[in-house]
Amino acid sequence: MNFFHLDCLASEVRLHVDLDAALTVIANGCYRWLGSRLRGYEKAAPKQLYRRFVETGGTILIQQDQITITLDRRSHNPIRRAPALDSDPVPIPWLGNRKLVLPYP
């Protein structure tokens, strides 16, 4: 079964089906990108990537110039740390040019 499946759209109105389809494609692409950055997970399914790396507790601190997301410790932290996604925070325009910071505990 696919993690993202077009038969499981959230919209009940036909007008929103295009948005749901677009978001499904974008989310799938985001998981493909994440998998490509994590060694050994290049061909992992989005559902597996979600369970191991995304579905975890943590804290979010929103400040004037940055957003800091600290994820709880897990056994997969060394794999998540390897691609150095935290090395150079880039300003994100749609977040008011705040930088997204991902420190590791």
User: Which sign does the torsion angle of CA 56, 59, 60, 65 carry?
Assistant: negative
* pTM (2 d.p.): 0.57
pLDDT tens digits for range 18-53:
777 778 888 888 888 888 888 888 899 888 888 887
Q: Which secondary structure element, helix H or strand E, spans residue 60, and what is its range?
A: strand 58-62
> What rounded mean pLDDT belongs to the chain?
77
The percent of the chain in helix, strand and coil, each rounded to the nearest 5, is 40, 15, 40
pLDDT tens digits for range 6-24:
555 555 555 556 777 778 8
